[in-house]
Amino acid sequence: MQDLLYFFQQLVNGLTIGSTYALIAIGYTMVYGIIGMINFAHGEIYMIGAYTALITITGLATLGVTWLPLVLIVALICAMIVSSAMGWAVERVAYRPVRGRHRLIPLISAIGMSIFLQNYVHLAQGSRNIGFPALIHGGFTFGSSDTFQAQISYMQITIFITTLICMTALSVFISRSRTGRACRAVSQDLGMANLLGIDTNRIISATFVIGAALAAVAGLLLGMYYGSIDPLFGFIAGLKAFTAAVLGGIGSIPGAMLGGLILGVGESMTSGYLSGEYKDVVSFGLLILILLFKPTGLLGKPEVEKI
Amino acid sequence: MLEVQNLSMRFGGLLAVDQVSLDVQEREIVSIIGPNGAGKTTVFNCMSGFYRPTGGKILFQGKEIQGKPDYKISRLGMVRTFQHVRLFNSMTVVENLLVAQHRHLNTNLIAGLLKTPNYREREKKSLERARYWLERVGLIDLANRESGNLAYGQQRRLEIARCMVTEPRLLMLDEPAAGLNPAETKDLNQLIVSLKEDYNVSVVLIEHDMSLVMDISDRINVINQGRPLASGKPEEIRNNDDVIKAYLGEA
Amino acid sequence: MAANNVRHAFFSALITLIISYPILGLNLEAQGISVTLTGADTSTVIAIFIAVIVVFVFQLFRERLMDRVRELPFLSARAHKEPMAENKRAKIESWVITGIVVLALFWPFFVSRGAVDLATLVLIYIMLALGLNVVVGLAGLLDLGYVAFYAVGAYTFALLAQYADFSFWMALPVGACLAALFGLVLGFPVLRLRGDYLAIVTLGFGEIIRILLNNWTTLTGGPNGIGGIPDPTLFGMEFGRRVKGEGNTSFHDTFGIAYSGEHKVIFLYLIALVLAVFTAMVIRRFMRMPVGRAWEALREDEIAARSLGLSRTAVKLSAFTIGAFFAGFSGTVFASKQGFISPESFVFLESAIVLAIVVLGGMGSQIGVILAAIAVTILPELAREFSEYRMLIFGAAMVLMMVWRPQGLMPMRRIHIELNRQE
């Protein structure tokens, strides 16, 4: 019973982390699906989302606003706006001018952007990690108190529900809205979509904005969940999310969701049963193995080399 | 020399090539023609090892080669050009020709660092061969230009020269006349014939320029929608009702 | 059209404001466990608004400005400049290089110890960058975990010295070869991957190595690192005040001069110089060999290269392994220079710095890479207040280089090959 509860606890923790990875992974997968590049700076956009959320929360507290739903919603909106603007600007400045050049060039530009943004926040906000208030307390507890107790916190439930809402909204948007349909058209064939009169530049910008907004949501959620943030925390999270995107099949949105959850559970099982230090080794090892044996991921479509 | 038997290639639900057969004898020019999207280039890609065919056999000099990696097939003496010219654009014209002769580079690593006499001899020979072919295709004056800066017709000729320095037995040309003007096409015509006559190379040709095809081919295979439609000597093909229908029906 | 311009300019200015004000204008400060928010000082706020106005004006008059810039005399003059005669240029270049090496040989005797120490570091970066240049610049493989091979070299020396009493000269080839072996083993499976996947996998590999070094405490000492790495010796002569190794003599006793700490620093510098020159020469030779052309061919057009009989795996693997070899090589020198190493020296940032050097120098160009290594290492030292902004500027420079001048400051020059014609 105790072992089962312990396992259950790891599973819940894993699914929580995994669903936020999935939110970040969407940004990688959508951009890759449309212009075939890895947006290295995406992890930094997520980090900026977390910082903006913390700034908003602190600002509201200074102003005396303490009603929790209002604080959360305002923080969420501000984080989404700033991250989206950042995503838009990054695409405009660093990626659009190099689109269509040799594949190394956009990639290096993206790495440069990632380094730039990391240091931008570092210089503005300092390099030390800053405590993020855990606004949502409490939870459900299972098991007797003298042995192991499993807990599902309200925070974890919030993360699940928010992720679910975002994913549903995204699927509806992609399948129903005009922009969503245009997105799919552009990811099928950019040149053709252009000929058909779709403003591909606008669609690519939209992709970056949507990805950035979802990353900002993840930034707020993970900030609260971990309890502290620093300018470097986007980098590793970005790498994890990218792993999730590849695991699920890059370019596929359900794949990103699935990949995120698998990666999250894998990591928390490693921490729970082996050692927390090696969880990154496990996820990067997983990434290497997937790329070697199934480069198209779990739900990705096989690519035919064009000659 | 080359025998393709019942070659099939399926991409997911699409059967791009269905039971295509053809054969090439020594010193022969065989053309593959057919409407756009008929699967001609896919046949090439299977023959040259870029795709692993889903069915059928390819025999080169009596040995099965289907599914072998591309670079190994090329080393056997089957070399190809591409529909859209593929040069090493930022490298010079000579360097393009030198690279083509570098298939056994791993054995050269130490020898090259020490510049052994054997290594120098080989380098000299490669250079000599490059010079010969540059003169042959009339690009000698452009030897140190970056190949990406050449005119289109020159790039086409360089691509053929690059194949020839590897001393192939069989040359596969994918639409070599596309984008050339009539004078250049005439030169190309003579070049291909000379490759066969003077260098004992067999040629498989994909081409849309019918006058070129009819003029130089020993035999022609027609493919339509992935399936073989007809094959025979040029005059037979010219008068084949099915072929006329396929082409006119398309137009 | 004009209205459209105004709208676009306004939008751009608004975006600039959104991305700069919350992050730059409002500072989070941790006081104990509570966090407070303070506004930035007035100058920052003014700077933000100036930036916003600049963006607005620039976007408003963008087209006209760009036309003006294109007409600038020096830009158009350069576009039409005739290249210098090939052999003349090669001659000048070889004189310049010889001059620099001779200068580099004698200069440490006239400057301060700190300067020599810094110069040694520059040389280590030059070796690293020359090695990475093979992988990224010539073969077109983006390796973001390059620092892992550097770590392999450094740790090999440290461990061999600790457990097996290896000297620098014995460890140097071992470290380099072991790093090359790592490159080979990692490269064999992953080099089949497409370029961008390769970047991520190497990045992951770099992190794995670092985490292992950090956590395998029994072997590597974990975050505490390994100290007491011996200095190099010159024919059995040591540069310390007291002789440590058995059968060794000390440098100052042998020559009957007074002991000075500077001898060791200069000696280390000279070793690094010799090894850097060696690295440059070997790689230069590789570039002119079949294997070097094969690297470039594969970078230019992989499909065409394969169709000509080049094995993709063999060519890529050779580049990757040679790159790793030189990383291990410089790692050994680094360990010896520092005398102490810990995982902190082998973070992703180091890979990024070396990559920045390669990108700034002009991918493929050796002289460019050497100059960039000097600039990137020395500039932050010269202006201390500027060193905070170092990585910020690197990042921005990488983006700008890719946008405006992807061939780098000194693009690689093609080697002119004379063909003797038979008339």
Complex ipTM value: 0.90
Spatial distance between the Cα atoms of A263 and A246, rounded to a whole number of angstroms = 11
- Highest mean pLDDT range out of A153-157, B34-38, C124-128? C124-128
Cβ distance of C308 and B74 shorter than 8 Å = yes
pLDDT at B102: 79
Is the pLDDT reported for residue B250 higher than 70? Answer: no
Judgement on whether residues B7 and B96 belong to the same structural domain of the protein: no
Is the pLDDT reported for residue A307 higher than 70? Answer: no
pLDDT at C320: 92
pLDDT at B173: 93
pLDDT at A133: 83
What number is the average pLDDT over the span A22-29? 91
Cβ distance of A307 and B11 shorter than 8 Å = no
Count: domains in chain B: 2
Is the pLDDT reported for residue C81 higher than 50? Answer: no
* Residues of chain A with C-beta less than 8 angstroms from the C-beta of B174: none
What number is the average pLDDT over the span C331-352? 90
Cβ distance of A307 and B45 shorter than 8 Å = yes
Mind telling me how many Å the CA of A302 is from chain B's nearest CA? 9
Tens-digit pLDDT profile for residues C372-387: 888 888 877 776 677 7
Q: Buried b vs exposed e over C307-338: b needs ≥16 C-beta within 10 Å?
A: bbbbbbebbbbbbbbbbbbbbbbbbbbbbbbb
Judgement on whether residues B165 and B109 belong to the same structural domain of the protein: no
The answer as to whether A305 is a domain residue is: no
Range of the domain at B36: 2-87+150-250
Judgement on whether residues B165 and B145 belong to the same structural domain of the protein: no
Cβ distance of B144 and C417 shorter than 8 Å = yes
- How many residues does this entry show for chain A? 307
Name the pLDDT band for C80 (thresholds 50, 70, 90): very low
Range of the domain at A61: 20-232
Tens-digit pLDDT profile for residues C130-166: 999 999 989 989 898 999 999 999 999 999 988 888 8
Helix (H, G, I), strand (E, B) or coil at C29: strand
* Residues of chain B with C-beta less than 8 angstroms from the C-beta of A304: 11
What number is the average pLDDT over the span B189-200? 91
What number is the average pLDDT over the span B110-114? 77
Window C:344-373, CB contacts with B under 8 Å: none
Identify the H or E element spanning C36.
strand C34-39
* Mean pLDDT rounded to a whole number for chain A: 87
Q: Between C233 and C325, where is the model more confident? A: C325
Is the pLDDT reported for residue A56 higher than 60? Answer: yes
Is the pLDDT reported for residue A212 higher than 90? Answer: yes
Q: Residue A76, exposed/middle/buried by CB under 10 A (0-12, 13-18, 19+)?
A: buried
Strands (E), chain B: 2-11, 14-24, 29-33, 55-60, 63-64, 78-80, 170-174, 202-206, 219-224, 227-232
Q: Do the strands C26-31 and C34-39 form a parallel or antiparallel pair, or are they unpaired?
A: antiparallel
Q: Between C93 and C423, where is the model more confident? A: C93
* Closest chain A residue to the Cα of B11, Cα to Cα: A304
Domain boundary, last residue among B121, B149, B177? B149
Lowest mean pLDDT among B158-172, C87-101, C389-403: C87-101
Helix (H, G, I), strand (E, B) or coil at C405: coil
Composition of chain C by helix, strand, coil, percent to 5: 75, 5, 20
What number is the average pLDDT over the span B155-159? 93
Spatial distance between the Cα atoms of C29 and A124, rounded to a whole number of angstroms = 11
Spatial distance between the Cα atoms of A247 and C49, rounded to a whole number of angstroms = 44
Structure-block tokens of residue C255? 């020559």
Spatial distance between the Cα atoms of A115 and A123, rounded to a whole number of angstroms = 12
pLDDT at C325: 95
Count: domains in chain A: 1
pLDDT at A181: 86
Q: Cα dist. A219→A23, A46, A51, C144 in Å?
A: 9, 5, 8, 25
pLDDT at B248: 65
pLDDT at C422: 52
What number is the average pLDDT over the span C320-331? 94
Q: Between B227 and A104, where is the model more confident? A: B227
Q: Between A215 and C191, where is the model more confident? A: A215
pLDDT at C84: 53
Is the pLDDT reported for residue B105 higher than 60? Answer: no
Q: Residue C235, exposed/middle/buried by CB under 10 A (0-12, 13-18, 19+)?
A: exposed
Backbone angles phi, psi at B179, to 5 degrees: 85, 5
Cβ distance of B88 and C289 shorter than 8 Å = no
* Closest chain B residue to the Cα of C420, Cα to Cα: B131
Cβ distance of B82 and A307 shorter than 8 Å = yes
Q: Cβ(A170)–Cβ(A210) under 8 Å?
A: yes
Is the pLDDT reported for residue B122 higher than 70? Answer: yes
Q: Buried b vs exposed e over A249-279: b needs ≥16 C-beta within 10 Å?
A: bbbbbebbbbbbbbbbbbbbbbbbeeeeebb
pLDDT at C129: 94
Judgement on whether residues B173 and B241 belong to the same structural domain of the protein: yes
Lowest mean pLDDT among B105-114, C15-24, C30-39, C53-62: B105-114
Cβ distance of A284 and C19 shorter than 8 Å = no
Backbone angles phi, psi at C211, to 5 degrees: -65, -40
The answer as to whether A294 is a domain residue is: no
Is the pLDDT reported for residue A195 higher than 60? Answer: yes
Q: Cβ(C390)–Cβ(B65) under 8 Å?
A: no
Is the pLDDT reported for residue C74 higher than 60? Answer: no
CA dihedral C24, C30, C35, C41 (to 10 degrees): -30
> B237 touching C, CB under 8 A?
no
pLDDT at C383: 67
> C50 touching B, CB under 8 A?
no
What number is the average pLDDT over the span B120-148? 89
Tens-digit pLDDT profile for residues C309-324: 888 888 899 999 999 9
Residue B2: CB atoms within 10 A of its CB come to 22
Long-range Cβ contact pairs of C79-85 (< 8 A, separation 24 or more): none
Q: At which residue do the structure tokens 């009596």 appear?
A: B62
Mind telling me how many Å the CA of A197 is from chain C's nearest CA? 19
Map chain A to HEC letters: CHHHHHHHHHHHHHHHHHHHHHHHHHHHHHHHHHHCCCCCCHHHHHHHHHHHHHHHHHHHHHHCCCCHHHHHHHHHHHHHHHHHHHHHHHHHHHHHHHCCCCCHHHHHHHHHHHHHHHHHHHHHHCCCCEECCCCCCCEEEECCCCCCCEEEEHHHHHHHHHHHHHHHHHHHHHHHCHHHHHHHHHHHCHHHHHHCCCCHHHHHHHHHHHHHHHHHHHHHHHHHHHCEECCCHHHHHHHHHHHHHHHHCCCCHHHHHHHHHHHHHHHHHHHHHCCHHHHHHHHHHHHHHHHHHCCCCCCCCCCCCCC
Spatial distance between the Cα atoms of C282 and C261, rounded to a whole number of angstroms = 32
Cβ distance of A111 and C136 shorter than 8 Å = no
Hey, of C87, C300, C365, C418, which one would you mutate to test binding to chain B, going by the most B CBs within 10 A of its CB?
Answer: C300
Of B70, B112, B143, the CB nearest to C306: B70
Q: Between A72 and C379, where is the model more confident? A: A72
pLDDT at B155: 93
Cβ distance of C205 and A284 shorter than 8 Å = yes
CA dihedral (B41, B47, B49, B52) positive or negative: positive
Judgement on whether residues B72 and B33 belong to the same structural domain of the protein: yes
Judgement on whether residues B30 and B124 belong to the same structural domain of the protein: no
Mind telling me how many Å the CA of B199 is from chain C's nearest CA? 18
Judgement on whether residues B111 and B183 belong to the same structural domain of the protein: no
Backbone angles phi, psi at A99, to 5 degrees: -65, 135
Is the pLDDT reported for residue A243 higher than 50? Answer: yes
* Mean pLDDT rounded to a whole number for chain C: 83
* Residues of chain C with C-beta less than 8 angstroms from the C-beta of A88: 15
Share of chain C above pLDDT 90, in %: 21
- Give every CB contact of residue C356 below 8 A, 6+ residues apart in sequence: A112, C372, C376, C394, C397, C398
Name the pLDDT band for C73 (thresholds 50, 70, 90): low
CATH of the domain at B235: 3.40.50.300
Name the pLDDT band for A134 (thresholds 50, 70, 90): confident
Structure-block tokens of residue B32? 């593959």
Cβ distance of A93 and C204 shorter than 8 Å = no
What number is the average pLDDT over the span C298-311? 90
- Give every CB contact of residue C329 below 8 A, 6+ residues apart in sequence: C127, C131, C153, C172, C175, C176, C179, C275, C279
Map B100-137 to HEC letters: CCCCCHHHHHHHHHHCCHHHHHHHHHHHHHHHHHHHHC
Q: Cβ(A108)–Cβ(C359) under 8 Å?
A: yes
Q: Cβ(A273)–Cβ(C196) under 8 Å?
A: no
Q: Cβ(A62)–Cβ(C36) under 8 Å?
A: yes
Name the pLDDT band for A91 (thresholds 50, 70, 90): very high
Tens-digit pLDDT profile for residues C46-71: 888 898 889 888 888 877 877 777 66
Name the pLDDT band for C2 (thresholds 50, 70, 90): low
Judgement on whether residues B157 and B246 belong to the same structural domain of the protein: yes
Is the pLDDT reported for residue C78 higher than 60? Answer: no
Name the pLDDT band for C398 (thresholds 50, 70, 90): confident
Domain boundary, last residue among B98, B125, B149? B149
Judgement on whether residues B82 and B99 belong to the same structural domain of the protein: no
The answer as to whether A259 is a domain residue is: no
Spatial distance between the Cα atoms of B12 and C344, rounded to a whole number of angstroms = 49
pTM listed for this prediction: 0.85
